[in-house]
Amino acid sequence: MFKKILLTFLFAGLFVSCDEDENQINFLDLKISSFEIIDNNENGIYTTTNIFPSNVEAYNINDHGVIWMKNGSVVDRLNLGDLQQNSFEANFATSLIKGERYSVFPYLVSEYGYTYGDTLSFVSNVDVNVLITELTPRNGFIRDTVTIKGENFCSASFNSSNRLLLDDTYHNVIFESDSLIRAVIYPYLTSSEASPSLKSCGIITDIEGKFSVNPPVLDSITSKNLYVGEELVVYGENIHHNISKVWLEGVETELIVTDSITQIKARVPENLPAGKLDFKLQVLDKIIERTDFYQSTTPVIEEISPRNTGFLDTLTIRGKFLDQQSDILEVVIGDRTQNIISQSDEEIKVIIDQLFSVDNPELVLNTGTFSLSEPITMLPPEIIGFDKEKYHLDGEIIIQTKYYLGNRSTAKIGSIIADTESAYTQIDNDGTFKVDLKKWLDVSDLFPDYIIKNSGLMEVFIETNYGTSSKDFLIYAPEITKINQTAFFHASSIALEGTDFGYNKGYAGVAEIYVDDILVENPGNSSYFLYNYTAQIPVSNTLYPGNHKIKIITGGQESNQVEFTIKSLTINSLSPTAGTRKNVYSIEGDNLEYRLSYRIKANGYNCK
């Protein structure tokens, strides 16, 4: 069964087509009738094989020969081609070692299938004397051709080909005869001084002397700046990626397969030091070193200006190889990625336009595979100024700041935080933002809470995690533009209209009303109110008839004074002058038309 499987492996499959024929031969009749070893000497094994029946040509035998094995494995075979007679002889010696035990059997291959004979065992007496007289040249490199001259070389066969060995590595034979072999050196060398030998006839024969691998020559390396992951090309002679190594400042690089013997490609590794680096090339056991030979593109920060900085400030980062020509280039300050406005290998400009509140923040430059950090100092914000000298309480103010980036929760005007984001515009890159005071201060509300300092000053206060700043601006003095009338009776109300009145809630406020420089107290009811555009007070019975002046003082600033008159009452006649309680009396006089402004009594009793 083993022979059958083996022969199936060794020979191509045969396709058989049978036609009905009275003269069809029987494949089963073809057999090997005898097989014997007729000689076993130093020159080889000699066998003879007989075949039955005698009309061998009728079976179209297209191949025949013998196969020899050792320990159940095929050693080699002798292929003798087609056969026209009923016997054949075979002699073989390839790969046989004297004193070793082998087995051999014959085979036939016809269009009907295969046939095999008995297996015979033998101990080899073969003693092949392979003689090597010359190896030239004695030095070379990969792809060079080496010539071996001698005697008794075996030709290549099924499982035993000639091979040149340099130490333990095999090299391919491109020409062979019994006295001449040429081989090409493969890139599987292991040392620069190798011991050569020849494997022929299954026997390895040492070749006297050594074979020297030509030493490497370094010409140059890539001159342009290379970044991590890019290819560094090493130019020279007698170099090959399979037997070479490249180091940059002691860091071994990854070599790229090129199969060239004049250049090596190495991938620039990560984490190289900055500056000029030492270079080392090793080919087998030969080393070439150069000092300050490779310019590293590892980034270096040399200067940050200014290092004392703040929000919305523009920082300039100077150094070398800052832009690593990759998808990753960012500047992170205080755990937020800031906006890069320009970039090059030697300079990056960034504006700190993203808010953060990290204590002791650092500047971190992420470029390519590198991350560089530098300390910076965040300065407190500053209020530089305003766009005008004075403002109405319902007007707009433009505030110019420095090192400030915030929102309504980090700013106060008049000591209050805005209730709505619509009260101001976002801070631009110049640190400027516009505030609608009417919305921020809730000027239109009956009960706002803002505070005005004396002399009409209102404070703007800003803060960041790195400090605070405040500055006052001036509010216009209140102005009375209208009074509801010019003459009043007692118990009536004086109503005023105007601008920048402020407010007074009784228990709190920034404004007060004065009549004849006397404060009119807020009684805490609806008869009195004061907010930005209107004011009202009751006409006190304590005001004597005649001319008076009214004004508003807001935040220490006085409004214009408006004059008004309290009408006096006079009685000219009473009719009748005598009567009872049931009588109706007529009183004539001046300014009696406002009935609520006076009372009529008789003998101390109220009259209707």
Residue 456 sits in a domain whose CATH number is: 2.60.40
User: Residue 577 has what pLDDT?
Assistant: 65
Helix (H, G, I), strand (E, B) or coil at 438: helix
- Is-cis flag, bond preceding 478, omega within 30? no
Q: What whole-number distance in Å separates Cα of residue 203 and Cα of residue 551?
A: 128
For residue 8, the surrounding DSSP H or E stretch is helix 2-10
pLDDT band for position 9 (cuts 50, 70, 90): very low
The Cβ-side half-sphere exposure at 557, using a 13 Å CA radius, reads 20
Q: What whole-number distance in Å separates Cα of residue 113 and Cα of residue 101?
A: 30
Q: Are residues 81 and 163 in the same domain?
A: no
The whole-number average pLDDT for the span 448-467 is 95
User: Residue 580 has what pLDDT?
Assistant: 64
Nearest to 375 by CA among 365, 390, 387: 365
Q: Are residues 91 and 65 in the same domain?
A: yes
Q: What whole-number distance in Å separates Cα of residue 522 and Cα of residue 525?
A: 8
Q: Looking at the 3D structure of the chain, how many domains does it have?
A: 7
**Pairing verdict, β 336-343 and 347-351:** antiparallel
Q: What whole-number distance in Å separates Cα of residue 438 and Cα of residue 338?
A: 34
Q: What whole-number distance in Å separates Cα of residue 22 and Cα of residue 180?
A: 56
pLDDT band for position 575 (cuts 50, 70, 90): low
Whole-model pTM? 0.69
With a cut of 90, say whether residue 4 has pLDDT above it.
no
User: Residue 567 has what pLDDT?
Assistant: 87
- Say if CB 511 and CB 372 are below 8 A apart: no
User: Residue 454 has what pLDDT?
Assistant: 87
Q: Are residues 264 and 225 in the same domain?
A: yes
- Tell me which residue range forms the domain holding 287: 217-295
> Please, what is the average pLDDT of the chain?
89
Residue 262 exposed, middle or buried by CB count within 10 Å (0-12, 13-18, 19+): middle
With a cut of 70, say whether residue 604 has pLDDT above it.
no
For residue 37, the surrounding DSSP H or E stretch is strand 31-41
Q: Are residues 12 and 106 in the same domain?
A: yes
With a cut of 90, say whether residue 158 has pLDDT above it.
no
DSSP for residue 441? T
- Say if CB 225 and CB 297 are below 8 A apart: yes
Residue type, 562: V
Identify the bridge partners of residue 336 per DSSP, sorted by sequence position: 333
Q: Are residues 106 and 29 in the same domain?
A: yes
User: Residue 26 has what pLDDT?
Assistant: 63
The whole-number average pLDDT for the span 566-589 is 68
| Domain final residue, candidates 169, 184, 213 | 213
pLDDT band for position 583 (cuts 50, 70, 90): low
Tally DSSP H helices, then E strands, for the chain: 2, 56
| Domain final residue, candidates 179, 213, 247 | 213
Q: Are residues 82 and 137 in the same domain?
A: no
User: Residue 22 has what pLDDT?
Assistant: 43
Q: Are residues 496 and 552 in the same domain?
A: yes
Residue type, 478: P
Lowest mean pLDDT among 36-40, 289-293, 598-602: 598-602
- The listed range with the strongest mean pLDDT (14-23, 51-60, 129-138, 553-562) is 553-562
Residue type, 350: V
Structure tokens at 134: 């010359």
Q: Are residues 423 and 359 in the same domain?
A: no
Q: How many CB atoms lie within 10 A of CB 310?
A: 23
Structure tokens at 316: 């300039």
Structure tokens at 153: 């070389």
- Would you say the C-alpha torsion 510, 515, 519, 525 has a positive or negative sign? negative
pLDDT tens readout for residues 101-140:
999 999 999 988 889 999 999 999 988 788 999 999 999 9
With a cut of 70, say whether residue 156 has pLDDT above it.
no
User: Residue 54 has what pLDDT?
Assistant: 86
pLDDT tens readout for residues 528-545:
999 999 999 999 888 999
For residue 479, the surrounding DSSP H or E stretch is strand 479-483
pLDDT band for position 178 (cuts 50, 70, 90): confident
Tell me how long the chain is.
608
User: Residue 11 has what pLDDT?
Assistant: 44
- Would you say the C-alpha torsion 64, 69, 73, 76 has a positive or negative sign? negative
Q: What whole-number distance in Å separates Cα of residue 585 and Cα of residue 429?
A: 82
User: Residue 43 has what pLDDT?
Assistant: 87
Q: Are residues 199 and 253 in the same domain?
A: no
Q: Are residues 136 and 92 in the same domain?
A: no
Residue 35 sits in a domain whose CATH number is: 2.60.40.2060
Structure tokens at 586: 């007529």
Q: What whole-number distance in Å separates Cα of residue 605 and Cα of residue 608?
A: 10
Q: Are residues 348 and 332 in the same domain?
A: yes
Q: Are residues 117 and 194 in the same domain?
A: no
**Pairing verdict, β 169-176 and 203-206:** unpaired
With a cut of 60, say whether residue 6 has pLDDT above it.
no
* Secondary structure (DSSP) of 526-544: TT-EEETTEEEEE--TTSP
- Say if CB 314 and CB 378 are below 8 A apart: no
pLDDT band for position 76 (cuts 50, 70, 90): confident
* Secondary structure (DSSP) of 258-306: ---SSEEEEEPPSSPPSSEEEEEEEETTEEEEEEEEEE----EEEEEE-
Rg (C-alpha) for the chain, rounded Å, is 57
Residue 241 sits in a domain whose CATH number is: 2.60.40.10
Q: What whole-number distance in Å separates Cα of residue 576 and Cα of residue 578?
A: 5
Q: Using alpha carbons, list the distances in angstroms from residue 77 to 11, 69, 73, 582.
A: 12, 9, 12, 161
| Domain final residue, candidates 376, 401, 419 | 376
User: Residue 16 has what pLDDT?
Assistant: 38
Q: What whole-number distance in Å separates Cα of residue 508 and Cα of residue 523?
A: 13
Helix (H, G, I), strand (E, B) or coil at 421: helix
With a cut of 50, say whether residue 273 has pLDDT above it.
yes
- Is-cis flag, bond preceding 269, omega within 30? no
